[in-house]
Amino acid sequence: MSSNRFTEYCSACGLCQGKGRAELQFNKGLLQPVLKEDNIEFLDKVCPISGSAYEVQPEWGSYENVYVGYSNDPQVRHMASSGGVITALASYLLDEKLIDGVIHTGKDMDKPWRTRTYCSTTAKEVIDRCGSRYSQSMPLADIFDLTEEGKKYIYIGKPCDVLALINYFKIDPEFASRFLCTISFFCAGAPSENAQMKLLGELKCKPEECADLRYRGDGWPGFATAINNNGTKTQMTYNDSWGKILGRDIRKSCKFCMNGTGEPADISCGDAWYSKADGTPDFTEGDGRNIIFTRSSIGEELLNKAVQAGYITADDFSSEIDNFKKIQQFQYERKATMLEKCLALKVMLKPAPAYSMKSLRNVSHQAEGVSANRKMTIFLGTIKRIVKGKI
Ligand SMILES: Cc1cc2nc3c(=O)[nH]c(=O)nc-3n(C[C@H](O)[C@H](O)[C@H](O)COP(=O)(O)OP(=O)(O)OC[C@H]3O[C@@H](n4cnc5c(N)ncnc54)[C@H](O)[C@@H]3O)c2cc1C
Ligand code: SF4
Ligand code: SF4
């Protein structure tokens, strides 16, 4: 596999920078790797989309149990991205001293539209850094400096970052032993820096005067909110900020991502939107709720402990999971039609992600929620976008 493919489908996890094998730099608003030496063997082992093929499971991926839930702390539930389950679980693990730190992504205090990776060591720090950052990040670039041998951590990150980390665990057992578990969340894409500028422009907030930028939370879904140096606050609905700006300018890896529901993590959470009469999601402001997939025995055990300790409410959701296809239709369809998208790339002689054809066929065949017509439309649409130079 040529190094071009790694650059093309890089998801900016930052691992190659963390290991001194590349440097990530902004290029057209996206973090892109500048490879330092011939790293193909390393990248093939760790890169989430362009590296070694992995067996993606159909629909929501494999899991132990599925719940719907929320943080029992009303303030956390209100300020967090959905129901605050991730923050509540991390807070419980720190309060109980089951871990020494939480490695996760928060706002860059100097440039609030950018991100930084933090090691939070108290529940207060985790809570202060709750919420989704719809922005570029490279969390694994810093993870080696933020953790110490002999201490225990959890990692919270995007599904691609978790996959890269777990791939890396296989080649560095000592580093793997530092982590009690990994937590992820549903992810539709990492918007570019250009999209941040557009959002700030629409919010009438100059970057050099921007004191704070939130993307959601402080409600559910809450508003994209910019605050400038003199305290002026401007807002935009989640539907407009994600649907019209941020979600339209994401990485190529995101358009070809099979992993949007956090399959490799021990626990993954998403929005458990209520549905409208036609089954589609209702974004009317309300009290946040997460869907919670426990995907390993340690994930199930830690969630149960946090529930028993009173940090989280979690109710069984298995009887309703079939209806979830319409509520998270984008995630369901993106994965179910990846076979057609990858076939279109191959027909047009373009490099494709390193998914195994067996996985792609398996996922496609089991996706009852997407019709054959729709799959054909996606195939032809991908070819059209390639011809127009949009892919
Ligand atoms: C880029 C992005 C795309 C998303 N796409 C979807 C989607 O398609 N469907 C959906 O249901 N939900 C999506 N979400 C939202 C998220 O999946 C849900 O809100 C999830 O249920 C977590 O809710 P919570 O209230 O438990 O999180 P919180 O308790 O608020 O905790 C969120 C945690 O995520 C970490 N975090 C925030 N931003 C990032 C980031 N950019 N990279 C790594 N870690 C981060 C924070 O540090 C925090 O620890 C997305 C979020 C992001 C950041
Ligand atoms: S996906 Fe991660 S490891 Fe692969 S090239 Fe990008 S930053 Fe490096
Ligand atoms: S959509 Fe996939 S590749 Fe893109 S940021 Fe999310 S998990 Fe990573």
Instruction: Write out pLDDT tens, residues 75-131.
Output: 999 999 999 999 999 999 999 999 999 999 999 999 999 999 999 999 999 999 999
Closest CA to ligand 3's atom 4:
254
Q: Is the pLDDT of residue 37 over 80?
A: no
Q: Find the 81 Cα to ligand 1 centroid distance in Å.
A: 6
Rounded to the nearest angstrom, the distance between the alpha carbon of 13 and the centre of ligand 3 is 10
Q: What is the pLDDT of residue 35?
A: 87
Banded model confidence at residue 138, pLDDT cuts 50, 70, 90: very high
User: What ligand 1 atom has the least distance to the C-alpha of 106?
Assistant: 47
The pLDDT of residue 2 is: 62
Q: What is the pLDDT of residues 289-322, one digit of tens each?
A: 999 999 999 999 999 999 999 999 999 999 999 9
Give residue-wise pLDDT tens across range 357-387.
999 999 999 988 899 999 999 999 999 999 9
Rg, the chain, Cα only: 20
Output the CA 318–ligand 2 centroid distance in Å.
Answer: 35
Supply 267's token pair: 């626990």
Q: pLDDT > 90: what percent of the chain?
A: 93
Contact 343, 375 (CB under 8 A): no
Pocket probe for ligand 3: among 56, 140, 161, 259, the residue whose CB has the most ligand atoms within 8 Å is: 259
* Ligand with an atom nearest the CA of residue 137: 1
d(CA 349, CA 358): 20
Ligand closest to CA 81: 1
The ligand with the least distance to the CA atom of 23 is 2
In contact, 273 and 247? CB cutoff 8 Å: no
Going by CA atoms, what residue is nearest to atom 2 of ligand 2? 13
Q: Evaluate: CB of 186 within 6 angstroms of ligand 1.
A: yes
Q: Is the pLDDT higher at 14 or at 55?
A: 14
How many Å lie between the centroid of ligand 2 and the Cα of residue 164?
8
State in Å: Cα 33 to ligand 2 middle. 7
Distance 107 CA to ligand 2 centre (A): 21
The length of the chain, given as a count of residues: 391
Q: From the alpha carbon of 22, which atom of ligand 2 is closest?
A: 8
Q: Is 311 near ligand 1, meaning CB less than 6 Å away? A: no
Q: Which ligand 3 atom lies nearest to the CA of residue 257? A: 2
Give domain limits for the chain. 65-191+249-328, 337-391
Tell me the fold of 65-191+249-328: Aspartate Aminotransferase; domain 2 (3.40.640)
How many beta carbons lie within 10 A of that of residue 212, not counting itself? 15
